[in-house]
């Protein structure tokens, strides 16, 4: 591998202006560099011999739960490898053996990331609501606030499913575990809309989908169908109801993210028309010396 004509600096402060500037230079969406983060982000910078910023890895040490997770951007695979060499050295010296990096979909350096031992685990994408058309959403409909209690038995389905093989994501999605306990408080807020699918004489709720509208692009945060009712189009009907609801309000896109190690979710979101924008890649190093 040719040595990059860059020098790696850090860890040091990376300003928001540097992150925005690099994202623009590389034609990346600003989200891929985690620009929602505050100005006080530290990390490693690759500076070219001409003094230009060629790449960076953000060290998320400010958020203890996400230490070792770096948003990054680099002009070439070599720049990425040089940056990661510095970041990995510092992370392992701090006892951090799991490294996570968010990479824009289709970025030419994905291959370099994979060859450094990373595999992707989480995908981020969006669905265009205009494409939904006006199909019938079957038994799926928006739930009123007084009906939200009926969703409670379905909420733990997600964390239970995530904990199983082959997903194996029991601890990292802390949000989901906390949500099992606090779903009602969360779902009853003005920002959240919940769709449900009612079935049978008893009117059992067999599936739900919840959207958080707080951000400019609303996010599908939760979706689950009772195991016995899966594969019958209920998830699809919930998605249609959500699409129609969003389109009627002039919301052009809905965001969603999921574990790529969750085959049900992977197939379901692809079928729903999600366009992937980025993936979170992860590498866990065995700390035992060879
Ligand atoms: C992901 C999930 C919500 C999908 O719900 P679902 O009701 O099974 O979804 P659908 O029935 O609409 O679609 C699933 C499959 O059934 C098929 N299907 C739908 N209606 C059908 C019918 N009448 N006859 C035969 N197959 C049918 C769909 O084509 C789809 O096939 P595919 O997997 O090959 O694409 C559900 O699997 C689930 O709850 N999983 C566990 C929790 C989870 O992973 N949630 C997502 C977290 S991000």
Closest to 209 measured CA to CA, from 237, 238, 187: 238
Closest to 245 measured CA to CA, from 286, 283, 196: 196
Q: How far apart are CA 42 and CA 103, in angstroms?
A: 18
Backbone angles phi, psi at 119, to 5 degrees: -130, 145
Asked whether the beta carbons of 81 and 1 are under 8 A apart, the reply is: yes
Residues 6+ apart with CB under 8 A from 135: 240
Q: How far does the centroid of ligand 1 lie from the alpha carbon of residue 128, in Å?
A: 19
- Taking CA atoms only, the protein residue closest to ligand 1 atom 32 is 267
- Taking CA atoms only, the protein residue closest to ligand 1 atom 33 is 267
> pLDDT per position in the chain (290 positions), as tens?
555 589 999 999 988 888 888 888 887 665 555 545 556 678 899 999 999 999 888 876 444 444 455 667 777 889 999 999 999 999 889 888 888 888 888 888 888 999 999 998 889 999 999 654 556 667 899 999 999 999 999 999 998 898 899 998 765 556 666 777 799 999 999 999 999 999 877 788 999 999 999 988 999 999 999 999 999 999 999 999 999 999 999 999 999 999 999 999 999 999 999 999 888 888 999 888 76
Closest to 121 measured CA to CA, from 155, 98, 147: 98
Candidate of 138, 175, 230 to mutate for ligand 1, largest count of ligand atoms within 8 Å of Cβ: 230
Same fold, 6-117 and 128-256: yes
Q: How far does the centroid of ligand 1 lie from the alpha carbon of residue 114, in Å?
A: 30
Q: How far does the centroid of ligand 1 lie from the alpha carbon of residue 235, in Å?
A: 6
Ligand 1 lined by 271 (C-beta under 6 Å): yes
Q: Identify the helix (H) or strand (E) that includes residue 239.
A: helix 234-248
Angle made by CA atoms 233, 238, 244, in degrees to the nearest 5: 120
Candidate of 222, 233, 241 to mutate for ligand 1, largest count of ligand atoms within 8 Å of Cβ: 233
Rg (CA), the chain: 21
Ligand 1 lined by 61 (C-beta under 6 Å): no
Ligand 1 lined by 262 (C-beta under 6 Å): yes
Q: How far apart are CA 189 and CA 202, in angstroms?
A: 28
The pLDDT of residue 83 is: 92
* Residue whose token pair is 């997770």: 69
Q: How far does the centroid of ligand 1 lie from the alpha carbon of residue 111, in Å?
A: 31
Per CATH, is 128-256 categorized as 3.90.1170.50?
A: no
Candidate of 169, 234, 268 to mutate for ligand 1, largest count of ligand atoms within 8 Å of Cβ: 268
Structure-block tokens of residue 119: 């595999």
Q: How far does the centroid of ligand 1 lie from the alpha carbon of residue 231, in Å?
A: 4
Ligand 1 lined by 128 (C-beta under 6 Å): no
In the chain, where the domains are located: 6-117, 128-256
Per CATH, is 6-117 categorized as 3.30.470.20?
A: no
Residues 6+ apart with CB under 8 A from 250: none
Q: What is the number of the ligand 1 atom nearest to the C-alpha of 220?
A: 48
The pLDDT of residue 21 is: 85
């Amino acid at each position: 591998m040719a040595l990059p004509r860059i020098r790696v600096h850090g860890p040091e402060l990376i300003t928001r202006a540097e992150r925005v500037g690099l994202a623009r230079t590389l034609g990346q969406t600003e989200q891929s560099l985690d620009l929602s983060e505050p100005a006080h982000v530290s990390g490693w910078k690759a500076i070219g011999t001409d003094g230009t910023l060629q790449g960076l890895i953000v060290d998320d040490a400010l958020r203890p739960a996400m230490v070792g997770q770096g948003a990054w951007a680099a002009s070439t695979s070599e720049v990425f490898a040089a940056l990661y060499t510095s970041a990995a050295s510092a992370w392992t010296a701090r006892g951090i053996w799991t490294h996570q990096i968010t990479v824009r979909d289709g970025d030419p350096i994905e291959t370099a990331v994979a060859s450094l031992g990373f595999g992707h685990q989480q995908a981020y994408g969006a669905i265009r609501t205009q494409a939904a058309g006006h199909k019938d959403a079957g038994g799926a409909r928006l739930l009123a606030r007084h009906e939200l209690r009926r969703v409670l038995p379905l909420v733990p389905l997600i964390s239970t499913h995530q904990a199983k093989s082959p997903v194996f994501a029991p601890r990292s999605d802390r949000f989901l575990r906390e949500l099992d306990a606090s779903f009602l408080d969360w779902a009853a807020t003005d920002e959240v809309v919940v769709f449900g699918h009612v079935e049978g004489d008893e009117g059992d709720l067999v599936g739900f989908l919840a959207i958080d509208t707080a951000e400019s692009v609303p996010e599908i945060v939760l979706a689950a169908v009772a195991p016995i009712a899966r594969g019958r189009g209920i998830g699809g009907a919930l998605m249609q109801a959500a699409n129609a609801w969003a389109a009627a309000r002039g919301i052009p896109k809905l965001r969603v993210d999921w574990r790529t190690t969750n085959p049900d979710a992977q197939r379901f979101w692809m079928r729903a028309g999600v366009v992937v924008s980025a993936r979170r890649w992860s590498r866990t190093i065995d700390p035992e010396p060879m």
